[in-house]
Amino acid sequence: DAGVIQSPRHEVTEMGQEVTLRCKPISGHNSLFWYRQTMMRGLELLIYFNNNVPIDDSGMPEDRFSAKMPNASFSTLKIQPSEPRDSAVYFCASSPQGRPQHFGDGTRLSIL
Amino acid sequence: QKEVEQDPGPLSVPEGAIVSLNCTYSNSAFQYFMWYRQYSRKGPELLMYTYSSGNKEDGRFTAQVDKSSKYISLFIRDSQPSDSATYLCAPLTGGAQKLVFGQGTRLTINP
């Protein structure tokens, strides 16, 4: 079975540029989660969706961050404009609702 | 105070040793207790989870929850070099979906 697929695996860009991270959840999973992991703050939930609908975005750090889920097999996390403090590993996870989450291998983002 | 506290380590032990990894939490509403394992440059993978207090065993791994003291433990018996990873505890309230992760403990098993 294919797991959660994230792209790109690595992204290096300059401050001020728009960054788009992509996620394909496991087929049949109707919950999708975006996390950010840093050394200082650990793994933090940014936003999650049930059945393509955003349920809780209280973890989104500021208006520069936005997330969409146009269909059951695709989600994006966008940062515009990007800043050096956004550098982190971003994970996407999916699950059947109410069941344990399965994580992708993350996108390692560096903002110069 | 963080909702979940976990000693980040690093913890280094010889192969074959028994390893004890621990978390404390402050929210008494937590009912499910997950342990995730994360290898370097990979995403967390679910190792095991328990519901409420008590023990759960899966091969060389035992998860233990003491709700009275708000203390979560993961024991690894006969530790192997392949167990070297970061271990994250993540409790959850019943009916909720928001996992609250501990900082993670980085574990190294030396051959």
Q: Which of A50, A100, A105 sits opposite B49 (nearest CB)?
A: A100
- Is the minimum CB–CB distance between A100 and chain B shorter than 8 Å? yes
Give residue A100's pLDDT: 87
Q: Which of these, A33, A7, A20, A24, lies nearest to A99 by C-alpha position? A: A33
The three-state secondary structure class of B83 is helix
What residue has token string 């079975």? A1
Share the mean pLDDT of chain A: 95
Give residue A97's pLDDT: 83
More confident site: B53 or B91: B91
Share the mean pLDDT of chain B: 93
Tokens of B26: 């402050």
Residue A1's pLDDT band (boundaries 50, 70, 90)?
A: low
- Report chain A residues whose CB lies below 8 A from the CB of B51: none
pLDDT(B2) > 90: no
What value does the mean pLDDT take over residues B36-52? Answer: 94
Q: A106 and B45 in contact by Cβ < 8 A?
A: no
What value does the mean pLDDT take over residues B24-32? Answer: 92
Provide the residue count of chain A. 112
Amino acid, single-letter form, for residue A28: G
What value does the mean pLDDT take over residues B76-86? Answer: 97
Long-range contacts of the stretch A85-89 (C-beta < 8 A, 24+): A85/A111, A86/A19, A86/A111, A87/A111, A88/A36, A88/A37, A88/A38, A89/A36, A89/A37, A89/A38
pLDDT(A46) > 90: yes
Which residue in chain A has the smallest CA separation from B5?
A42
Q: Which of B34, B43, B49 sits opposite A91 (nearest CB)?
A: B43
Cis link prior to A81 (omega < 30° from 0)? yes
Distance from CA of A18 to the nearest CA of B (A): 24
Distance from CA of B28 to the nearest CA of A (A): 20
A-B CB pairs within 8 A amount to 46
**Residues A75-109 pLDDT 10s:** 999 999 999 999 999 999 999 988 889 999 999 99
